[in-house]
């Protein structure tokens, strides 16, 4: 699974999809699922993979119907850690999450180079970490995985919104 608020874009299209060797990409996002043109463009951006776009809730039911072997070849992308938690709470098993693009906004702080978090986002990451999920912050595969402990991160202010 990957968290990236741009979904399939330059970095993901060019590097991650071939790196993980996914046969199917599932984008679970409520706003994107309602955006017909945006969805078409996302699909056209990964021409060699099957791209499925669902709301988070529909994504949960869709993924639940897949068997273990099918799930191995599916790369799920959500826009924020809160949605990743929704998938987990919905019964989707995840061991590893690649944290990709998090956007800089007025209400976020840069807790690590290029990693921007608001309060809600940090809380969601801390919960994911508490559940023992391997959180791997790398924009592209050739970057080195940093030693990050979300439980040690404290924000000065700001609210994270999804």
Residue of 2, 3, 13, 98 that binds other proteins (CB under 8 A): 13
Contact between 98 and other proteins per CB under 8 A? no
* Helix, strand and coil in the chain, % to nearest 5: 40, 20, 40
Contact between 143 and other proteins per CB under 8 A? no
Contact between 3 and other proteins per CB under 8 A? no
Contact 53, 39 (CB under 8 A): yes
For residue 24, the minimal CB distance to other proteins (Å) is 17
| Nearer to other proteins among residue 27 and residue 88 (C-beta) | 27
Contact between 104 and other proteins per CB under 8 A? yes
For residue 32, the minimal CB distance to other proteins (Å) is 10
Neighbours of 25 (CB within 10 A): 26
Residue of 28, 101, 109, 137 that binds other proteins (CB under 8 A): 101
**What binding mask, one character per residue, do residues 106-125 give for other proteins by CB under 8 A, x or -?**
--------x-x---------
Residue of 15, 19, 38, 62 that binds other proteins (CB under 8 A): 38
């Amino acid at each position: 699974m990957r968290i990236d608020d741009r979904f399939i874009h330059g970095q993901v299209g060019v590097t991650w999809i071939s790196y993980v060797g996914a046969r199917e990409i599932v984008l679970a996002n409520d706003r994107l699922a309602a955006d017909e043109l945006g969805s078409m463009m996302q699909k056209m951006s990964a021409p060699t993979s099957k791209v499925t776009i669902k709301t988070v809730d529909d994504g949960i039911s869709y993924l639940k119907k897949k068997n273990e072997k099918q799930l191995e070849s599916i790369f799920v992308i959500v826009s924020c850690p809160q949605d990743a938690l929704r998938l987990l709470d919905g019964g989707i098993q995840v061991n590893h999450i690649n944290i990709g693009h998090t956007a800089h906004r007025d209400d976020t702080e840069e807790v690590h180079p290029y990693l921007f978090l608001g309060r809600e986002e940090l809380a969601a990451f801390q919960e994911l970490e508490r559940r023992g999920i391997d959180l791997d912050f790398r924009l592209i595969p050739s970057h080195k995985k940093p030693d990050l402990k979300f439980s040690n991160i404290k924000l000065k202010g700001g609210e994270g919104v999804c």
